[in-house]
Structures are given as C-alpha cells and as structure tokens.
Chain A
Amino acid sequence: MKEKLRPPKLAENILFLFLRYEDSEHRLGDYRESFEYITQEKGYWNAVKWYWLQVIFSIPHFIINSIQWGGSMLSNYIKIALRNLYRTKLYSILNITGLGIAVALAIVGYVNYEFSYSFDAFHKDSDQIYSVNYSKMRNNKTVSWSYAPMPMAAEIKNNIPGVNNVTRMSIGSGTVKYGDNVFNEQFQFVDKEFFEIFNFPTSKGKSDALANKDGIVITEEIAEKYFGKENPIGKQLAVSPDGEKTFLFNVDGVIADPPKNSIFFLSVMISMERVFEIRDFDPYVWNHWARATFIKLDKNVLPKKIESQLQDFKQITNENNPDFQVDNFFMLPLKQIADKTRDLNGDPFNNGMHPAAIVAPSLMSLFVLLLACFNFVNTAIAFASKRLKEIGIRKVLGGVRPQLVWQFLTENIILCFLALVVGILLAEIFVPAYDSLWAYTDFSINYSENLGLVGFLVGLLLFTAIVAGGYPAFYISKFNPITIFSGNQKFGGTNPLIRVLLVFQFAISMTSLMGGIILYQNGEYISNMDLGFNREQILILPIRGENDFELIKSKMSNNPDILSIAGSRGLVGRNWDNLEIEADEMKMRMPFFEVGENYFETLDFTLIDGRTLDKDLKTDIGNKIIVNETFVNESGWDSPIGKFIRIKNSEETKELEIIGIAKDFHYNSVWRKIQPSAFILEKPENYRYASLKFDLNKIEEVSNYVQSEWKNLFPNIPYDGFYQNFIIEEAAQITNSIKLVFMYIAILVMITTGLGLFALVSLNIAKRSKEISIRKVLGASIANISSLISKEFVRLLLISSMLATVMAYYMVDSLLSSIWDYYVTIGAFPFIVATLLMIILALISISSQLFAVVKTNPIDKLRTE
C-alpha cells in the first residue's frame, strides 16, 4: 500500500524538467504532500488525475516564468547544440534530409486530401446547399439517380418552409456559332437562381444575366475561344441545340472558370425556360426530369426534416411515371456530392477524385513520415551512445539531469526544425510535380489557410524530437559516471527499442516497395487488359443518321488503311439504352447496345455460339439479340439460343429472340464488374456513330486523312472524332498516376531508409572499431568482419520482410479491390524482389563503410588512447 502513495513517475519527471533545479526538491515535495492528502481523501486514482492535471496546466506558467527570467540558459543550450550538430555534419545532414523528404511528402498527402474534401467549398453557406435526388429498388439493390421531376423545384420552394432557394439544371449539347467560329459545346440549362445559390465570380457583365431568357452566360474559357481578345458582352451567339433549330442569344455575363475541385462543368449557361421551347414540352408536367435540382435551406433547418417532406411528391411523380417508380427522394450535402457522384446515375456532375486516389497517397505519406521519425529516433539513440563520455564528464563537473535532458532535447528540436524547413522547401517542388500526374487537379499549398497542417507538422516533429532526444536524455543522464568511464556502460546496438523501431522501419519501407512493385504490375495489367474487343484500332465519328454514314462509307472505304467501317446508335463504353427485361422469373434492367451493320465484326467481339445480327434480314432489326456470357450465367439457361426475353416500354411488350452469345466484354470502363448486356440491331437512319477500324501502324496518316475528308464532306460540322481507347482512359490515367505515386514513394522511402541505415551502420562500426581492429590483428578476414557487422541487420531485415509481406499483401489487395473489380493477381515476385532489394541496400551501406575500416591500419585505431 505504501508504494501506491507515489505520484505517477512520468508526471513527476516532466515536472522536474520544468522546475528550477534549486527549487525542485521543495516543490516536488509540495506536490507530493498534496498528492498524499488527496489519496487519503479521495483515493489513489483521483489523486493521479489531479497530479497530471496540475502538471499539465502548471507547465505554461513555468514556461512564461522562465522567459521572464531571461533566456540565458536557452541560448546556452542552443549554442552548444549548434556546435554539436556542426561537429557531426554528416549525421545531421542525413537526418535532416530524410525527415525533410518525409515532411514534404506529408504536405503533398495533406494537400491532396484537402483538395478533394473542399469541393465547392467556396460558395457562400455551402453547408446549407443540398441536391435533391431519388432512389429506387431494383433487384433488391438501391439505385440512385440525380434526377427530379421538372415542376418539383417550384413546388418545393412554395410548399416547404425552411427552403430558401431552388434551382434546376439540365444538360444538352449542340453547336455554337460566332462568325467563323463553330464548335460543339455542352450547354447547361439553369434557373436564374443558380447564380444566387452558387457564387461563381462574375468577371464581366452582370451576374443575373439569366433573368432575361435571351441572355446567355459563358465562362472565360468559352469567351476566349469565340471572341479572343474582344469584349464578349452584348455579342450574339447562334446556338443550335439539336442541329436543326437555331436560337440567338446575347452574351450578358462572363464568369470565371470554375475551379477544378468543383462538381460543376460549366461552359455555356442558358436559361432553364428556353429548354421547354427547345425541347418542346410543357414545363409543368411531372414526367420530364431535370438532370439536377439544388435547394438551399435557411440557417439551422434540419435537412432530415426537409427530406421527409420531399416524400410528399412521390405520389404525383409515380402517377405520372408508370414505368419509373420512385421509392425515395433524398438529399445530398453539396460537399458530399463529388464523393457520391460515382454511385449516382445521371452523370450531371464532375467526379471527385477516386477515393483510392485520395486515401492511398495520404496514408502512404503518413507512413513515410512515421518511418522517417523512427529513423530519426534510431539514429539519435545510436548517436547518443557515442556521447557517453561527454555525459560522464558533464555529470562529474556538476551538470544536473534537467540540464542534460534539455541539452539533448534542444539539439533534436533544432534538427527537427531544420527538417521542417527543408520539407517545406521540398514541398514547393513535390506538390506541382504531384499535381501534374492528375488531369483533374489543381493543387496549391496555402499554409495560412491550413493551420491544421502546420499544427500537425509542428506537433509531430516536436513529438519526434522529444522521443528522439528524450529517450537517450532521460536514460543516459541516469548513468553513473564511474560505470561510463570504466567502459562498462552498455548502450546502443543491443537496445531493444532500437531493434523494434528498426524492424518497423524496414517493414514500412518494404511495404511501400512491395506496394510500388505490385501497383507497377497492375498498371501494366490494366493498360494491356483484354476488354473482350478491339479498342486500339477504332476511330469513332459522331454522325447524324444514314446519309452521313453512307457518305463516309462510300468515301473512306477507298482508303486502304481503313480496314472496315461500322455504323451504330449505341457505343460500347459511352452510349446504350437501359431496358427493363423479363426472362422467365427474372426481372432486371440491362444495357442494350443498338448496333448497326458490321459493328460486331469491326470491333472484333467474339461470338461463342449462334450467329451474328444480319442487317439484310429485316426480321433481325429490333427483334433478335446477342447476349453476353454473364447474361447466360445469370439466367441459368443451358441453351439460351432460340429463347425469348420480354422487354416492356410504355407502349408495348415485345419478345426478343436470343440468336447468339458473345464473349464477355467490358462496356463500362474497367472499374465496374461486367453485368448482363445485349446487342440489338438498329435501323440505319438512327445511326449516330461511325466506327472505323484502321491499320495501327498508320494511325497518324489515318487521323489526318479522316479529318481532311471530314472537312470536305461536312464543311459546317466541327470534327469531333475520338478513339475507342477512351474506354480505358480514366482507368489508365488513374492507374498510371497511382503507379507513379507509389513508385516515387518507394524510391524516396528507399533513400530515407538507406540514409538511416548508413548512419546506423557507421555508428555501429565506429563504436566497434577497436573490436574490429583486434579481430583484424588476430587474423579475421574481411568476410568474417562483414558478416559480423551485417548479421544483425540482415536478421532484423528478414523479420521485417515477413511482417511487411503480410502488411503489404493485405493493404495493397484491399486498395486494389476497392478501386478495381479486375486487377492483377498478386504473386510472390514483388515480395521476394523487395526483400532482396532491401538486403542489397543494407549490404551496400554496410560494405561502403566497412571498406574504410578494412583499409585502415588496425594499429591506428588501437593506439588512440
């Protein structure tokens, strides 16, 4: 029970550091006396709590006091610290660089994270803005859409209290003409309230331009494209939304291009009221849908309350849309939309960065930072062991423990501070380099707006400095000078803390190395992935029906480099019709690709069974389908050929006959799992794309030829051709960027670890120089000595390698499976290579220094004292 009366030792030690030495005894006694009193009154744990609170809140008083007393001690510590650091330049530089690189990476990780979580944060009251979406159940899965019925916006505003403002948004595309400048553009139809809710800065003209329905608002990029240096305000643009009717608009406003972390793609904004004229429908019917609807709530209104009131519109919506039943209207906060867009059908918004692309780099940079801190602590501890004699002398001359502790702490705090400066400087290079890896980012570092980052970095480095300096400081300063001088004090190499930290450090660097290799393999895998059809040799031209197609076919098929030409209405990877089907008991919605002549053959889809669609058989059109393997598997039919499925649209129910089975193909990038899908034959007058298969070796010639030929054939329509390879572009870009990020990190980690190893080994050798010299005198070979030094490191490396293999496998596997449904299988190769590389790295850093030891005459080393 007597032992229980002692206050917590750590708290007492910390307190001791902050008390002036001559007062420390009485004051620790005061604390202790009160502690004992409280223990008796309220029990031990209350007393411990009291003690800690006293210590923590007293420290600021002591610090202020010591500043008022004048910083003479502090300047003394700093002076000695700087001398020490200068004396050991090499270690100081290695430590500062290693930690600096890690700090720079952490800044990159943070900037990356910050960017992706501040989508559209610049709008005033952005936390009061929500989008209105709906969801429905399909095959027991909830599917969400960004749509809401057109008249709903006004109804919400008029009937739901607490809603401050509402705007709708629809999207269209067509040509825009000014003088000789004709381009295809995407239009955004928005209500004039759009600019009240969202604050895109107006650079020219008035911001309420859309109040007048003949007005049009464009972005600076569009203004530059059409008007160059001219003032766009008041100029007239001719807009043909569907290629037939043309509408004239006056440019009334120009807004700044939205930042890249905005969910909005804005270019040409037209008043919502015009969409009803252009598309010719009644704005008050509930079976037309706005692509997106935003509401802004009054302050302090609970979104859940509004959300429940939205359900009142379900009845009228469902009555007007018998094929399109809404189960639930829900709201998404503006800040979350970017994140959720991938799960939201309707595609009205820009995607946020892929979650994996946010989490992976941030996590990795945090790991590297930890690694560098471990590394720093290791070298600091190892290094302190070289200073045993200095400490002994200081103690003999009357140095007291707090002085020694502060000395160590000051040195490490200075080192960490220098590393922070180096890190911030390096970040100026790293951040733009990282930014250039991603197409849809625009990173910048702004420390004054990110005080959290600054606080985090300073806190972490202070913590590192305290651990790195504190461990040896508290530990060594306890040693008895006599044991130090008699050479009996053991410290450093065999220290268990160093070993544990080393194992973790190696494990982290091997993990990132393994990750780098696996992601490299995955990058290769994705970009060479077989999508089940030919994606590399296909050039696609958007067209308007049969005439265009025949023109292109008759003209371009003469070119020997163009191997075949296909027409279609749908397009694999971009355009298809989702139809509700019934097959036996099964009900589902699946994509139908309305293809035309030659499409199946031109894109090299593989037919497993049955026959392909024949354009000459009139009965094939709209009646016969080819399904994919997944459909066959899901339907459970043994011989699907000749079977029928039913489709229902609003007018009629139709039976479709299965005539063939296609090998599975990726129709929607490679992110998503292959689902059942089908091909159906389309009439030539509905062709919207011509797909040209060309000779891959003549890609340049073909592109030039097609463009010049296009100008002859369609002088009034801008050329908008693209390659079928677009289907893997996003995946390939992200894959490639992640690959690069991890490879850079792996390389930087190798450098950091290499630097740390170098420092540790050289300290180890320095400490054992006498031992090594004696061994040499007694006839030990170089091989003996190197195995002596490297044995321990290699053993630790092997332990780390096992740890790293497990860590890397689970981390990378979960990373890959969270991004891709299809990814490379992880083999043994990366693990073996990473382990070997690390061992080689360790051996190089060991041998580079052993060389120096071996070369010196053992007598020189032995004679020093």
Chain B
Amino acid sequence: MKLLSRSEEIILIAIWKLKGNAYGVTIREMVSQLTGHDWLFGAIYVPLDKLTRKEYVRKFNSEPTSSRGGRSKCMYELTIDGKKALKEMQAIQSNLWEGISDIALD
C-alpha cells in the first residue's frame, strides 16, 4: 500500500463520510468539522490531487448549478483501492493505539 499522509487520510475519511455528496465545499466543511479548525481550500486541493493520482479517489462532474456562478461541481468518491487503503489505515491506527487507554496529559 502507498502510505498516506495525515491530511490525505483525513480527506479520505471525509469523502467516505460524505457518501456521494463530496465536493470541494463539503469536503472542506467536513474536514474543518472533524479537526476542529478551519482549513484553506488550498490545503484541501493539494492532497485531493495526490489522492486522485494515487487512484484512491476518482472525480466526476455534476451538472452546472446556478448558485455557483454557473459553474459545475467536481464530485469525489472513493475507489475500491481507496476503501482498501482506508481499512488498512484503520487497522494500523488501532495497532498503534493498542494498549493505550488514556494518555495522561501531564
């Protein structure tokens, strides 16, 4: 598996959670909501492009809508590889955290 960077992982999760309604605006909202701080579009698009190149996500165009100055949306969805990668990441995560129940802050 091609290892994912943290932001790629977060975005992948966000797309999965959005279930078919993933495009720039919603991804940004979801990611900001998940991490608790505001993300730049720039910081979303760059990992998105990388995920696209790694073929974990694929994009398709929606019909143009009037609310966006007549511009169409680019929707993202996970590929089979993308879902696999997400599963593996989850496994790695739980391995990493195994046996640690609570981190004492001090």
Contact = CB atoms under 8 A, between A and B. Distances in A.
Given A33-B25, A34-B28, A28 B71 contact: yes
A64 B42 CA distance: 11
Contacts of B25: 30, 33-34, 37
A857 interface: no
A60 B41 CA distance: 12
B41 A33 contact: no
A466 B58 CA distance: 36
Interface string A43-78: 000000000001001111110110000000000000
B24 A58 contact: no
Most buried by B among A31, A33, A34, A58: A33
B71 A32 contact: yes
A61 B72 contact: no
B58 to A, nearest CB: 14
B61 A26 contact: yes
Contact size range, A: 20 to 34
A57 B72 contact: no
Nearest to B59: A26
Contact of B49 (A31, A37, A65): A65
Contacts of B35: none
A561 to B, nearest CB: 85
Interface in B45-80: 45-46, 49, 61, 67-69, 71-74
A23 B48 CA distance: 12
B43 interface: yes
B42 A33 contact: no
A499 interface: no
Contacts of B40: 54, 57-58, 61
A181 to B, nearest CB: 74
A26 B42 contact: no
B28 A29 contact: no
Contacts of A28: 69, 71
B74 A62 contact: no
B43 to A, nearest CB: 6
Given A30-B23, A30-B24, A65-B49, A25 B72 contact: yes
A6 interface: yes
Contacts of B68: 29-30, 32-33, 36
Contacts of B74: 23, 26-27
A61 B46 contact: yes
Nearest to A30: B24
Nearest to B74: A26
Contacts of A34: 25, 28, 41
A33 B46 contact: no
Given A31-B41, A34-B28, A54-B40, A26 B73 contact: yes
Contacts of A29: 24, 68-69, 71-73
A61 B45 contact: yes
A54 B44 CA distance: 12
A6 B69 contact: yes
A68 to B, nearest CB: 8
B71 A65 contact: no
Contacts of A65: 45-46, 49
A589 B98 CA distance: 90
Contacts of A27: 24, 41, 45, 74
A26 B28 contact: no
Q: Please classify the interface of chain A as helix (H, G, I), strand (E, B), loop, or mixed, using the class held by over half of its residues.
A: helix
A26 to B, nearest CB: 3
Contacts of B46: 61-62, 64-65
B71 A25 contact: yes
Interface in A758-801: none
B33 to A, nearest CB: 14
A21 to B, nearest CB: 13
A33 B71 CA distance: 9
A579 to B, nearest CB: 74
B41 A58 contact: yes
Contacts of A32: 68-69, 71
Contact of B72 (A26, A60, A64): A26
Contacts of A59: 42
Contacts of A64: 46
Interface in A178-222: none
B70 to A, nearest CB: 8
Contacts of B67: 33, 36
A23 B45 CA distance: 10
A30 B41 contact: yes
A208 to B, nearest CB: 51
Interface string B66-106: 01110111100000000000000000000000000000000
B71 A61 contact: no
B68 to A, nearest CB: 4
Contacts of A6: 69
A708 B69 CA distance: 96
A336 to B, nearest CB: 44
A26 B45 CA distance: 11
A258 to B, nearest CB: 53
Interface in B1-60: 23-25, 28, 40-43, 45-46, 49
Contacts of B43: 58, 61
A62 B41 CA distance: 10
Contacts of A30: 23-25, 28, 41, 68, 73
Nearest to B45: A27
A57 B44 CA distance: 12
Contact of B42 (A23, A36, A37, A57): A57
A30 B73 CA distance: 7
A49 to B, nearest CB: 13
A27 to B, nearest CB: 6
A26 B41 contact: no
B80 to A, nearest CB: 24
Contacts of B28: 30, 34
A26 B49 contact: no
Nearest to A20: B49
Contacts of B69: 6, 28-29, 32
A44 to B, nearest CB: 15
A58 B41 CA distance: 7
A797 B40 CA distance: 50
Contacts of A61: 40, 42-43, 45-46
Contact of B71 (A26, A37, A54, A60): A26
A62 B28 CA distance: 16
Interface string A13-28: 0000000000101111
A59 B67 CA distance: 25
A33 B72 CA distance: 11
A61 B42 CA distance: 6
A131 B106 CA distance: 51
A40 to B, nearest CB: 11
A225 B31 CA distance: 77
A388 B59 CA distance: 38
Nearest to B23: A30
A60 B25 CA distance: 20
Contacts of B24: 26-27, 29-31, 33
B82 to A, nearest CB: 19
B28 to A, nearest CB: 7
A60 B23 contact: no
Contact of B41 (A25, A37, A54): A54
Interface of B: 23-25, 28, 40-43, 45-46, 49, 61, 67-69, 71-74
25 contacts: A23-B74, A26-B23, A27-B41, A27-B74, A28-B69, A29-B24, A29-B68, A29-B69, A29-B71, A29-B73, A30-B23, A30-B24, A30-B25, A30-B41, A32-B69, A32-B71, A33-B68, A34-B41, A54-B42, A58-B41, A58-B43, A59-B42, A60-B42, A61-B42, A64-B46
The 6 A-B pairs at the shortest CB distance, nearest first, are namely A58-B42, A30-B24, A29-B71, A61-B42, A26-B74, A29-B68
Given A26-B61, A29-B72, A54-B42, 12 more contacts: A23-B74, A26-B23, A27-B45, A29-B24, A30-B28, A32-B71, A33-B68, A34-B41, A57-B40, A59-B42, A61-B46, A62-B45
